[in-house]
Amino acid sequence: MQGLLTGRYKCVGDIPPYRSRTRHYDSRTNKHSRHGENGCEKLLFETVERIRDIADQSGYSMVELALAWPLAQEGVSCVIAGATKASQVDSNASAARTSLSGNVIRALSEATEELKKALGPNIDMYQGVVNGVDTSRCF
């Protein structure tokens, strides 16, 4: 989520338009967005804060949670992690080797459930419903 988990962006207004084109964000406020949905910005930031609380309570970093949690899900064998600095590559590699406890995995699943429901089953974060037509490429 490019900056959200790091705490770089504290509110929607802080996020540059090129970073706020996914279905998480209201397409009416970004001319570069083409998904046609209202987004769930408030819920997104609430969810990130819940994840941050879990990180604080569990002793894991946000990077560790962001990479280790998806890898703990059934059917997931890899994650795509970005980096612009060598230190980020090192952090990502270390985080990918992290094993989360069952309690942390359950807490993360619960903390993100409402956002997952709001976004629905469409896994394409850049396409959605425009003028009543589903424009997603993934179902």
C-alpha–C-alpha distance, residues 102 and 72, integer Å: 9
Torsion of CA 129, 137, 16, 44, to 10 degrees: 70
pLDDT by position in tens, the chain (length 139)? 567 777 777 877 777 776 776 777 767 777 777 777 777 778 888 999 999 999 999 999 998 998 999 999 999 988 888 888 898 899 888 888 899 999 999 999 999 999 888 877 776 666 666 556 665 554 4
Q: Find, among 118, 104, 98, 95, the residue nearest to 55 by Cα.
A: 104
Q: Find, among 36, 55, 60, 28, the residue nearest to 111 by Cα.
A: 55
Type of residue numbered 7: G
* Stated pTM of the model: 0.77
